[in-house]
Amino acid sequence: MRSIWEIAEPDETAVADIVKSARVPPLLAQCLLNRGFTEPNAVDVFLHPKLARLSDPFLLPNMQAGVERLFKARDAGERVVIFGDYDVDGVTSCTILNESLGALGWQTATYLPHRMDEGYGLSLEATQKCLAELKPQLVLAVDCGSTNIESIDWINEQNVDVLVLDHHQVPQPAPAACALINPQLATEDEPDFRELCSAGLAFKLLHAIVKEGRAQGISEMESYDVRPFLDLVALGTIADLVPLVRENRILAVNGLKQLNATNRLGLRALIEAARIQGAIGGFEVGFQLGPRL
């Protein structure tokens, strides 16, 4: 059976508008139109994915409540256990928050459940073991927790708070976390961040924390640079196979730049073990680095 290719007729007026506004060749303008980019601003954002275009992290559902609870933990010297997941998105998210919060004055520890023995996410068995071993006053569940109603109820019964940072679907009723930061909770009238994975959400949470810390005049926050974590954000975002659109595109593009120049010894060793020569792009992350993590 032969395939017949029918080339879409270009909208000459629309092509001309993009050529003029974006200063791109007609062929590129046509490609952008074919992919649904009709507004000059959307074209500009797609072609120039700058970090400055990232939106205010406090636009995410329940971000304000989550940040307030974290600062309460910092002020009280509470132990915060960052409870992650064993996939690339979960591991990178956990690393971003453990490293940054530890540097900014929080008392942190991490817990990653054993894939075979404890299963996925915030299971009751893993939760009980986590609290017994690490004795936290706050559990920050990352890349999990949105569906773990029983486990979160049990944690609450131990007089321990749970803050959930996750991108998976939320059941009804939602778990009784002190704050559930999840883009799936956004209403139709609110900004849509549903493409973000947990690594992207961890970066947004860190951005919000630094922003709040600067507003409070905390010296450690004034000069704290969040950009070195973009290598981990790119790893988690690309490996989790989320759509590389909008904020994800900004994070992935800038994260790949950071990854190619990373000073993290573990990542340098991983790149060497994967025998990657030359630039690291989406293929290298998705098929060489991600599976090894």
**Do 196 and 260 reside in the same domain of the chain?**
no
- Please check whether residue 222 lies inside any domain of the structure: no
Q: For residue 194, what is the domain's CATH number?
A: 3.90.1640.30
Q: List, in sequence order, every beta strand (DSSP E) within 98-143.
A: 107-111, 138-142
**Do 254 and 128 reside in the same domain of the chain?**
no
**Do 202 and 235 reside in the same domain of the chain?**
no
Output the pLDDT for position 175.
Answer: 96
**Do 160 and 246 reside in the same domain of the chain?**
no
Output the pLDDT for position 7.
Answer: 74
Residue 142 · residue 90 · CB < 8 Å:
yes
CA 111 to chain centre: 18
Q: In this structure, is the dihedral angle defined by the CA atoms of residues 30, 34, 37 and 39, taken in order, positive or negative?
A: positive
Output the pLDDT for position 11.
Answer: 86
Output the pLDDT for position 41.
Answer: 85
- Please check whether residue 234 lies inside any domain of the structure: yes
Output the pLDDT for position 6.
Answer: 82
The DSSP 8-state label assigned to residue 62 in this structure reads T
**Do 254 and 177 reside in the same domain of the chain?**
no
**Do 78 and 206 reside in the same domain of the chain?**
yes
**Do 63 and 123 reside in the same domain of the chain?**
yes
Please write the tens of the pLDDT for every residue from 74-85.
999 999 999 999
Please write the tens of the pLDDT for every residue from 196-250.
999 999 999 999 999 999 999 999 999 999 999 999 999 999 999 999 989 999 9
The DSSP 8-state label assigned to residue 288 in this structure reads I
- Please check whether residue 221 lies inside any domain of the structure: no
Residue 193 · residue 249 · CB < 8 Å:
no
**Do 83 and 152 reside in the same domain of the chain?**
yes
**Do 32 and 84 reside in the same domain of the chain?**
no
Q: Mean pLDDT of successive 10-residue segments in the chain (293 residues)? A: 81 91 92 89 91 96 98 99 95 98 98 85 94 98 96 98 97 96 90 93 99 97 97 98 94 98 96 96 97 93
The C-alpha atoms of residue 12 and residue 14 are separated, in whole angstroms, by 6
Model confidence, pTM: 0.93
Q: What is the extent of the structural domain holding 41?
A: 12-48
Q: How do the residues of the chain divide into helix, strand and coil, expressed in percent and rounded to 5?
A: 55, 10, 40
Output the pLDDT for position 274.
Answer: 96
**Do 143 and 183 reside in the same domain of the chain?**
yes
Domain count, the chain: 3
Where a domain ends, among 186, 216, 246? 216
